Structure 1
């Protein structure tokens, strides 16, 4: 089956689209990336999204308009990724996260009250299905949250079935705006007397979010990211600051846990700048120190929360291109080899888009898509809401695909 996976991450850079050929179910799952591309948001729309994430207020009419505008961009990405290829049968769209709140436990007098998490993704699936004429699965996180889970990370199920190894313990480390990890014990590892979960996973903390905010601030808006980590590599990390920041509450919470731009936000970045003021750091030093925070928070979480350190770390996401960040992760993990998922046959740029194509594919087969040991859900559940279309609507995609401009993206074709 040809399936499209769509996602825009917490960096709000644009929409990653993957056209994927899938077969099998879980143990025999086969994944072939046919094409992948990133389609940037129009600047004005990106600014609106970032403003909303940063607590910008909206009327309900404005909220609906933003939801539709994001859906249109996702639909255009789905149409564009198919050009020159057979028509897809299904779309799995994660949408654009604008708010994420993990579940919480509170105590009132003698009562313990559990509050479900909350996660909101815009870019409604029914609009994508209507625009493309292709059945669309969306809103993946709510079923896991309803089962008491974090609603994240959801890519761990793909990691389990595609990136597990017979003899090596692996960590698959995604570095988008936020970092998340999946720990995959060797499939043929001898059973020990003390049983541990077969798989673990959690959000490790900031990925590129603070780095991008720093680059925009330090360059007065002339740059949006640190290409290859070259600017940070010219500076010197301030280790006392890194150690101070690593004491922040989030880093001490044991998994399962998740986070987002609600915590690692512009306000958080400004607090980092205030903390750095007494050290007289250059712009390059500040960027190097924030890069070290991402690298050190990843490594610290492994040392704190894994039953044993992995034999290998596989990096994916936009951060896999930051050579300096990769070097610092390697330095913090010492002798553990740090590679990318490209090195083991799974495209590092489009792995998350591929994951939501797979989750949609599983949803149509009633196969659970979450891993309770990762998200903290009370049970495994099917993920996503299905938006069916009339068969006659499938022609709409071909009729309209040439009439709407889409923003050119970086393209990968196999």
Structure 2
């Protein structure tokens, strides 16, 4: 047992998250038992609750770097917390009340640590703020307010403890994936495609398998696609359903090759990114680059979709110790059939499935993961995986807010 670890008993936990796509709050009501290797979950209910349109626009503007006052930031923080609390209350309808909430909140800013973070060199008392190698990540939607509004103990701010010791604070899901989706004989990549893509490489479950797990952000997932759809449709659409629009176009491979030369794709893991890189400014440059090829709207979407697929495949081929025997997709991008087809083509004989096909909801896996992380925090079990976040050791993740 880990120090301070409590005895695990079956409990109902709500996991809440809104990712970098800002398309709504994913809520999962989960029955959890066991601890790590014996961890078991049952999804009792899963639902996505859209943000009010005005709040979503304000969040997206903030993520894009809009300058706002502290008063405006406080109002957005409150509004997100109220929306998360409402989602937690709604997901319990028709079910026994939950005992715990794990709320990731809404990421509005993420800064990876500098290259040498985590070496212990940031502890000097005379360190200037400008010298800090630490990362920074801000999730809005105060856990204390969610706890008060729901009457349920809430765990939030999952990333800050890992960042404080020099990690990226991301990705945090690989440890959960390891215990829910590992296989005794098969190496697997669990690829989440939200606004940003991230992977957990899980080797076969034998020997010192946990230390061989790797995880990192692969690059853009849906972020550029959604922004492009909104731009190309003059706001009439917010996403490309099933990838149908992109599928009607033709990818421009010289552009994809040009974009893949971007520095991030060649940085070795651990690494993390967000809309700060793959956001509005990046899309504007992509659209400018595309002008030389006289692409129509469908071709632009097909090319951006190819970038997401190619960046994932390139990431595997460049940084994995060995290619997986199976890839399992989750997140909103797992429903983009055209993107899935392109990734399957690039990975050749490696089967590309979704986590639905092994019994774990692809739509709500991230929300389930934060329910598990809250459960582990309550039990005193570390939630980060140093080989994924780059932190020098394991830490308890999340701040507990009693109702």
TM score, norm. by length of structure 1: 0.90
Say which of 337, 348, 372 aligns to 2:362.
348
Q: Shift of residue 106 of structure 1? A: 7.3
Give the corresponding residue for 2:201: 183
Distance 2:210 2:289 in 1: 39
Matched, 1:30 2:5: no
Give the corresponding residue for 2:191: 173
Give the corresponding residue for 1:375: 389
Distance 2:183 2:171 in 1: 20
Matched, 1:229 2:243: yes
Distance 2:265 2:184 in 1: 31
Matched, 1:359 2:377: no
* 8 Å CA contact retained: 1:105, 1:114: no
Matched, 1:242 2:291: no
* Aligned partner of residue 235 in structure 1, secondary structure: coil
* Aligned partner of residue 229 in structure 1, secondary structure: helix
Taking the TM superposition and a 5 Å limit, the aligned residue runs for 1:10-409 are 10-105=20-115, 115-188=133-206, 197-389=211-403
Q: Shift of residue 114 of structure 1? A: 5.5
What runs of 5+ residues in structure 2 fail to find an aligned partner? 1-10, 123-130
* 8 Å CA contact retained: 1:172, 1:313: yes
Q: Shift of residue 197 of structure 1? A: 4.3
* 8 Å CA contact retained: 2:28, 2:45: yes
What runs of 5+ residues in structure 1 fail to find an aligned partner? 390-414
Distance 2:63 2:227 in 1: 14
Distance 2:173 2:206 in 1: 22
Distance 1:274 1:146 in 2: 39
Give the corresponding residue for 1:5: 15
Question: Structure 1 segments of 4 or more deviating over 4 A?
Answer: 111-114
- In structure 2, relative to structure 1, the CA distance for the partners of 1:386 and 1:234 (3 Å cut) is same
* 8 Å CA contact retained: 1:8, 1:96: yes
* Aligned partner of residue 33 in structure 1, secondary structure: strand
1:103-124 Cα distance to aligned partner (Å, 9 max, x none): 00479xxx99651000000000
Distance 2:242 2:115 in 1: 41
Q: Shift of residue 57 of structure 1? A: 1.7
* 8 Å CA contact retained: 1:150, 1:375: yes
* 8 Å CA contact retained: 2:178, 2:210: no
1:70-106 Cα distance to aligned partner (Å, 9 max, x none): 0000000000000000000000000000000000047
1:287-344 Cα distance to aligned partner (Å, 9 max, x none): 0000000000000000000011000000000001000000000011011000000000
* Aligned partner of residue 115 in structure 1, secondary structure: coil
Count of equivalent residues: 382
Distance 1:248 1:150 in 2: 20
* Aligned partner of residue 96 in structure 2, secondary structure: coil
Distance 1:272 1:40 in 2: 29
Q: Shift of residue 163 of structure 1? A: 0.3
* 8 Å CA contact retained: 2:16, 2:104: yes
* 8 Å CA contact retained: 1:6, 1:92: yes
* 8 Å CA contact retained: 1:106, 1:114: no
- In structure 2, relative to structure 1, the CA distance for the partners of 1:313 and 1:72 (3 Å cut) is same
* 8 Å CA contact retained: 1:196, 1:307: no
Distance 1:118 1:9 in 2: 17
Distance 1:229 1:31 in 2: 31
Q: Shift of residue 62 of structure 1? A: 1.4
Q: Shift of residue 196 of structure 1? A: 10
Distance 1:2 1:188 in 2: 30
